[in-house]
Amino acid sequence: MAHILIVEDDPSLGFLLQDSLETAGYQVTLCPDGEAGLSALAQETFDLCVLDVMLPKRDGFSVAEEIRQRNLPVPFMFLTAKALKADRLQGFELGADDYLTKPFGLEELVYRVKAILRRTAPKTTPPDQAKPAATDVISFGTSSLEFKNLLLHVGGQTHTLTDREAELLRLFAQHPHQLLRREEILQRLWQDDGYFVGRSLDVFISRLRKYLQPDSSVKITTVHGRGYKLEVAE
């Protein structure tokens, strides 16, 4: 049973969200403000965090920034009455998996939650098909990715990645020197190639480039109008 954290200050809406998700079969914890949400995240492990943007004490964007700073491996989505394009882009730039604008239908919320959990659920392999642990480490240039542990080793430093960063880097590392089209990446990792998700991809590419900068033998290049390549010096 997936455990979902909802951070919503409207008691009536919070009750409806909690009731709808519990009816759909999820365990739900409801917090009334950003500080309470961060406290819950420090004490328990969640499979998804649903954040209202306009919250007392700590707003949803601030909570999301704290999630990233703490390297918490929890996907999150925003609920908000703020429908401006700039606000939606800010949400995706923070690494949000989805952004739902109020008013919305509860059935749509449950559908989106299911979609996120399906994308981010750990992939299990039957014991008889398990591969040696060494195959969980992918090397490229002088860098290496421990995919299961979400660790990137580059230039004598180790970075803890988010699930999405690790998935994206693994996709590049498994296809060096090959053009990966934007649409292909978006469909593989997000199952969505819409505008706002595309902007989210741009943010993740930028982060990976920053992480890989100390390794001069590796670079992610943009093929304008088509996609990206991971180039590795021989």
pLDDT in tens, 5-46: 999 999 899 999 999 999 999 999 999 999 999 999 888 889
Torsion of CA 51, 55, 56, 62, to 10 degrees: 70
Instruction: Say what the pLDDT of residue 120 is.
Output: 74
35: Cβ contacts below 8 Å, ≥ 6 apart = 57, 58
Q: Tell me how many helices (H) and strands (E) the chain has.
A: 8, 12
Tens-digit pLDDT profile for residues 78-103: 888 766 666 677 777 777 888 888 77
Q: Three-class SS of residue 107?
A: helix
Residues 198-208 have pLDDT tens digits of: 677 888 888 89
> How far apart are the C-alpha atoms of 81 and 166, rounded to whole Å?
31
Cis status of the peptide bond prior to 56, with omega within 30 of 0: no
> Token digits for 94?
């923070």
Instruction: Name the one residue in this structure whose structure tokens are 């990446």.
Output: 185
Contact between 5 and 51 (Cβ < 8 Å): no
Average pLDDT over residues 49-66: 88
Order of all β-strands in the sheet with 227-232? 180-181, 227-232, 218-223
The pair phi, psi for residue 156, each rounded to 5°, is: 80, 5
* Total Cβ atoms within 10 A of residue 139: 11
- What is residue 145's predicted lDDT score, i.e. its pLDDT? 93
- Amino acid in position 164: R
Average pLDDT of 50-63?
89
Residue 190 has pLDDT above 90, yes or no: no
Q: Span 152-176, mean pLDDT?
A: 88
What per-residue confidence (pLDDT) applies to 132? 37
Mean pLDDT of the chain: 83
* Cα–Cα dist 93/87, whole Å: 10
Residue 16: DSSP 8-state: H
pTM score, two decimals?
0.59
- Is the predicted pLDDT of residue 111 greater than 60, yes or no? yes
- Mean pLDDT over 211-217 rounds to 91
pLDDT of residue 187: 81
State mean pLDDT over 174-178.
90
**pLDDT range class, residue 193, cuts 50, 70, 90:** low
| 106-120 average pLDDT score | 86
Judge whether residue 138 has pLDDT over 80: yes
